[in-house]
């Protein structure tokens, strides 16, 4: 039951952190309705990270697995960001929209990074607390 509550609270906190970063970016870049994609991607990443970290907590060496999963998720988000930046720069000069493309790229990368980091920090903290309680109780 502890794993379910940990995952639920991590889902809420990391979703809030990702949504907050997306909201701040939307306000700062004066985003329009195309920023809906950023909020949808942030929600999707929050759900996927919650499911993956929930499954990882079921293993005996959960803290090691969760550290590797967080590192892999961060690397994946950064690679997607570099790919989107490369795609933006590969467009012909007449089709580039510097005011429209780069804020969306930042909006797709930064909230997802915040989501993964907050989720990882919360789950790691809860696992470490559980481990300490198990050592004291044993």
Can you give the length of the chain in residues? 138
Q: Return the pLDDT at 97.
A: 64
pTM: 0.85
Residue 101: inside a domain, yes or no?
yes
Residue 20: inside a domain, yes or no?
yes
CA atoms 68, 69, 75, 76: torsion sign: positive
Q: Judge whether 58 and 3 are in contact, CB under 8 Å.
A: yes
Residue 138: inside a domain, yes or no?
no
**22 CB contacts (<8 Å, ≥6 apart)?**
35, 38, 39, 42, 107, 110, 111
Residue 52: inside a domain, yes or no?
yes
Residue 11: inside a domain, yes or no?
yes
pLDDT in tens, the chain (138 residues): 889 999 999 999 999 999 999 999 999 988 888 789 999 999 999 999 999 999 999 998 888 999 999 999 999 999 999 998 888 878 777 766 656 678 888 889 999 999 999 999 999 998 877 655 555 555
Query: Structurally, how many domains does the chain consist of?
Result: 1
33 DSSP 8-state letter? G
Domain of 8, in residue numbers: 2-132
């Amino acid at each position: 039951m502890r794993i379910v509550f940990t995952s639920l609270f991590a889902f809420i906190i990391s979703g809030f952190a990702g949504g907050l970063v997306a909201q701040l970016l939307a306000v700062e870049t004066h985003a329009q309705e195309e920023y809906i994609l950023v909020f949808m991607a942030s929600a999707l990443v929050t759900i996927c990270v919650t499911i993956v970290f929930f499954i990882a907590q079921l293993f005996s060496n959960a803290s090691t697995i969760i550290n590797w999963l967080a590192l892999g998720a961060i690397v994946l988000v950064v690679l997607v960001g570099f790919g989107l930046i490369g795609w933006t720069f590969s467009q012909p000069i007449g089709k580039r929209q510097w005011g429209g493309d780069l804020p969306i790229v930042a909006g797709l990368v930064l909230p997802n990074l915040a989501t993964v980091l907050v989720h990882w920090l919360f789950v790691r903290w809860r696992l470490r607390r559980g481990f300490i309680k198990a050592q004291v109780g044993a």
